[in-house]
Structures are given as C-alpha cells and as structure tokens.
Amino acid sequence: MNKTFKTLAEPNRFQIVELLRNGPLSVGEVADRIGLRQPQTSKHLRALMDAGLVEVDPIANRRIYKLRLEPFQELDIWLESYRHIWKERLDSLDDYLQDLQRKDNHHHDEDKE
Amino acid sequence: MNKTFKTLAEPNRFQIVELLRNGPLSVGEVADRIGLRQPQTSKHLRALMDAGLVEVDPIANRRIYKLRLEPFQELDIWLESYRHIWKERLDSLDDYLQDLQRKDNHHHDEDKE
DNA sequence: ATTAAATATTCCTTGACAAGAATATTCTTT
DNA sequence: AAAGAATATTCTTGTCAAGGAATATTTAAT
C-alpha cells in the first residue's frame, strides 16, 4: 500500500497511470505522449511493475503495458475506512446540533417563565 | 492531489494520518504513539499541513491536530474514475464472453451438419 | 547471418528530503 | 517577571531516487 503511494508520488509515473487508463500502450507510445525519453520511460514502467500497478504483455518486438486492478482496489478499501469516519463525525455533529437545539428550547422556556 | 501522494508516501506521515483517524491529538501524543522525537513529529505535521491533510486547533499550550476531509474526498473522486474503467472493462469482457459463446454454439451447429 | 527497431540496464551526477542536534518561540503558571 | 512546558525552526549530514548518456538485450526483417 505504502509502495503504491511512493510510486504514484512521482509526477511522471502518475501521468503514465492516468494515460494507461485509456487502454494499454507500448513503451514508445507512453514515451511519446508523456514527453519522456525511452530509457526513463522504461525505468518508470519498471517501478510501476515492481509496485504491481501495471502488467506487461509482450507482443513481438513491443511490450504492451496496462493497468492492474488490485492496487486500486486496495486504495479503495483503505479509503472506505475514512469514509466511515466522516460519516460518524457527521452523525455525532448531528447529535450535537440536536442537543444544542433542545437546550436552546429549554432556554426559551425559561425566558418565558 | 500529487502533493497528497507525495506526503502520504512517507511512512511516518502515513502512520500519523492513520493515527489521527481515531481523533485529534496533540504533537506530544502523536510523537509518543508513533515513537518519533518531537522535532521530527512537528516537521511531519508541518508537511501534512502544507499538503492540507490536517488542520490545527491551538488550545493553550498545545496544538491539536486533526484530519481534514477534503484531500480524502479528492482521492475518492479520483478513484471513482478508475472504478468506472474496471466496470466498463468487465462489461466488455462480458460481451466478449457472450460473443465467444455464440460462436461456439455456431460451431456446434456446424458439427451437426 | 546482418541489420534495424524496440526496449531494458548500467553508471554517473545532482537534487530532494528525512533524521539528529541544538536552539528559538509561545503560552502557562507562580 | 521568571521559569517551565509544549511546540516550531534552523543547520548539518547522509541517503535515495530521478534524469542523462551510453550500452546491452531482444525480436523482426531482409
């Protein structure tokens, strides 16, 4: 998981991932569209491989890279726990506000007396 | 967004974020639980602030840090687009499989003739 | 079998950044 | 006002990773 963050933290690699969202591409194509030299592109793709973010499909001379599902699922699961937290916080904020309102009503009552 | 990744890529900072999931904490408390010295803890919290991942609530002598919602929402929105992609891929895989099946049936028909 | 295209790897240099140590700042308490 | 917590900042040093340049490797084509 941490490896995922570290790998995506590099701007070019993030861009590559965004690019591969549209479908598999060869090294040369990635290099062209990102505007990187071939060796650095290969290196970044290697890093993405090591992190399990992409997989490769060798076709003849070319190596076609494409995204892998799992790391994104992991991210999603991780985020899920945060979603719960916000929900809980909102709920208790809600309770709090209702509580305030009750107290406020009491005050009004007292004012009247 | 990229700043979020870069910031969370540092293991101690990631741990701090996970810790703050349970609620706001002072610098000293974070330092204790993560096992970091106070200055490094302050530095990491500063980095988290700069990335907008946390906010601070000064209470007397202490500074209470807590998570901010927005960056996680951003991550969520970003991930959303990936969820769509997998869905589409699965759909077309589904189409493909159905297509295969149709062709297969034809073959069976041909065998019979 | 040679040559050419596509990709990977190695070596080097440089920049970013995290920890350590020391010090500065802010707020409280007396 | 002085002293003491809690926290922030500065400076230095060491490590790691990214880009550049050159080269190696793999596969295709002739």
Find residues whose C-beta atom lies within 7 angstroms of strand C: A 26-28, 31, 38-39, 41-43, 45-46, 56, 61-63; B 6, 10, 12, 36-37, 39-40, 43-44, 47, 58, 60-61
- Examine the domain organization and report whether A37 and A74 are in the same domain: no
B107 or B2: which leads in pLDDT: B2
- Examine the domain organization and report whether A17 and A54 are in the same domain: yes
Whether any strand D atom is under 7 angstroms from the Cβ of B2: the reply reads: no
The separation, in Å, between residue A93 CA and nucleotide D4 C1' comes to 37
CA B9-A8-B92 angle, 5° bins = 140
- Examine the domain organization and report whether A64 and A76 are in the same domain: no
Q: Residue A16's domain spans which residues?
A: 2-68
- Examine the domain organization and report whether A59 and A25 are in the same domain: yes
**Per-residue DSSP letter, A74:** H
- Examine the domain organization and report whether A84 and A43 are in the same domain: no
The residues of B whose Cβ lies within 8 A of any Cβ of A are 2, 5-6, 8-9, 11, 14, 21, 67, 69, 72, 75-76, 79, 81-83, 85-86
pLDDT tens for residues A49-63? 999 999 999 998 999
- Examine the domain organization and report whether A64 and A74 are in the same domain: no
pLDDT on residue B113: 34
pLDDT tens for residues A7-66? 999 999 999 999 999 999 999 999 999 999 999 999 999 999 999 999 999 998 999 999
pLDDT on residue B66: 97
b/e map A42-69, b = 16+ CB within 10 Å: eebbebbeebebbebeeeeeeebbebbe
Q: What is the mean pLDDT of residues B36-65?
A: 97
The separation, in Å, between residue A10 CA and nucleotide C3 C1' comes to 38
- Examine the domain organization and report whether B34 and B80 are in the same domain: no
pLDDT tens for residues B4-33? 999 999 999 999 999 999 999 999 999 999
The separation, in Å, between residue B61 CA and nucleotide C29 C1' comes to 11
pLDDT at B60 over 70: yes
Q: B72 and A81 in contact by Cβ < 8 A?
A: no
Find the helix packing angle between B27-34 and B38-50, rounded to 10°. 110
A93 or A5: which leads in pLDDT: A5
Nucleotide with C1' nearest the B43 CA: D8
- Examine the domain organization and report whether B57 and B6 are in the same domain: yes
pLDDT at B108 over 80: no
pLDDT at A113 over 50: no
- Max CA distance (Å), chain A: 90
Number of structural domains, chain B? 2
| Residue A93 binned pLDDT confidence (cut-offs 50, 70, 90) | confident
Mean pLDDT score of chain A: 90
pLDDT on residue A95: 81
- Examine the domain organization and report whether A59 and A109 are in the same domain: no
pLDDT at B103 over 80: no
Q: What is the mean pLDDT of residues A96-105?
A: 81
The answer to whether the CB of A69 falls within 8 A of the CB of A21 is no
DSSP per-residue codes, chain B: -HHHHHHHTSHHHHHHHHHHTT--EEHHHHHHHHT--HHHHHHHHHHHHHTTSEEEEEETTEEEEEE-SHHHHHHHHHHHHHHHHHHHHHHHHHHHHHHHHHHHHHHHHHHH-
